[in-house]
Structure 1
Amino acid sequence: MRMDNALFIWRLEMQAHAVSSKKATNLSLSADVLVEAKRLGINISQACDEFLRDLVRRERARRWKEEHAEFIQVYNRIVETEGVPLAEWRSF
């Protein structure tokens, strides 16, 4: 298995399950979009929270990949040349 995603996805999923509290904040939104969202019954706070949560998750993942790029490159090169570590003992 390539190491591109496995470790940081696990870590981010663990963090996502942590209970978080909410904090009131002020946002500036495009008036036309806000009116249409309200007309459609979209929960603005929930939509903003979900989008920001996803944006934060993707940015953390991008930074994790960037910070660990050298290790990932070396590990993947080893897997390509030598195969998966301990593969000879796999039972599946």
Structure 2
Amino acid sequence: MSIEARKPQDLTVSEALVAEAAELGLDITSAAEQGIARAIKAEKERRWKIENADAIKASNDYVAKHGLPLAKYRTF
């Protein structure tokens, strides 16, 4: 992971989660960053699928009708 500038944020987090994380020796800042990064990735993927739904459907329809291009070269 590259070193990036950090900006303090005011977040409200469940006391129970913070206590359990501390009990387990977890770095809550790192855990929060990782969770936010996963949420961003998931949202970008969701939006990409919506934005490209027509192209994905067209590709799937083509394969359903004509089979996979270059399928004759597959060895499995």
Please classify the TM superposition score into its range, dividing by the shorter chain length: 0.7 to 0.9
Runs of at least 4 residues off by over 2 Å: none
The runs of 5 or more residues in structure 2 that have no matched partner are none
Scaled by the length of structure 1, the TM-score of the pair is 0.70
User: What is the Cα-based RMSD across aligned positions, in Å?
Assistant: 1.8
Give, in angstroms, the shift of residue 37 of structure 1: 1.2
Structure 1 gap segments, 5+ residues each = 1-16
- The size of the alignment, in residue pairs, is 74
Alignment-mate amino acid for residue 53 of structure 1: A
What pairs up with 1:43-58 in 2 under 5 angstroms?
43-58=27-42
Whose radius of gyration is greater, 1 or 2? 2
Length-normalised TM-score, structure 2: 0.82
Per the alignment, residue 71 of structure 2 pairs with: 87
- Between 1 and 2, higher relative CO (CA 8 Å, sep ≥ 6) is seen in 1
Determine what percentage of the aligned residue pairs are the same residue: 30
